[in-house]
Amino acid sequence: MLALCVPVYDVFEPDNVASIWSLQWPGGITFNMAHGRLLDDARHSLTVTALANPEVTHLLFADADMAYPPDAAIRLAAHGKPIVGGLCFERRPPFSPTLFFGGGIPQLDYPRNALVRVASTGGAFILIERAVFEAVSQVEGAGLWWASTVRAGGLPLAGDESFLQRAKRLGYEVHVDTGVKTGHVGKVVVDEAFYDAWRRGAA
């Protein structure tokens, strides 16, 4: 079973609601929402709720301002990777893809329609196997799943990136399928086509 985990800071975007209703998963979907909390706290609450259901094998974190295709989760799961995200972009200029191959700098040019291993990515649309959370719990405790940390040099590390770093220390790799294209809803839907057009215009 898939646990769809949606942190909601303010409201659901209409495109997100349509994505939720059309999402497909062969083993059934349980919907979990955490409203009006800080993002890291919301993701922690969603994780606790999802893992309380022993039938849940995968957790899909999809922020309430994301739009995605109906088969997105199935396509991510087909890779058989414990942690795999879809292609996401920041919703504000410079609309960078949330692909980090090292050094904390977004990779502006990236392999298209490919599964790529990354140093990190965001938590806006990411599929994570249950076993990853259970492993992190055994080593660091469940309360630290999404707790933010400080990177080398004293700069803060967001909760989603902190979680991925904890998982990587246990040997898990992080992948992104750049063929699973999501839209980040702002005043415009920032997807690959918009990003390419913006870069041409901004160059």
| CB 90, CB 186: distance < 8 Å | no
Report whether pLDDT(103) > 70: no
Give the residue with greater pLDDT, 24 vs 143.
24
Averaged pLDDT for residues 82-100:
92
HSE toward the beta carbon, residue 10, CA cutoff 13 A: 3
pLDDT at residue 36, rounded to an integer:
60
- Count of residues in the chain: 203
The secondary structure of the chain in percent helix, strand, coil, rounded to multiples of 5, reads: 30, 30, 40
- Mark out the alpha helices in the chain (DSSP H runs): 14-22, 39-51, 72-77, 130-140, 159-169, 192-202
pLDDT at residue 95, rounded to an integer:
85
pLDDT tier, 203 (very low <50, low <70, confident <90, very high otherwise): very low
Averaged pLDDT for residues 185-189:
77
Pick the closest to residue 112 from 99, 122, 125 (CA basis).
Answer: 99
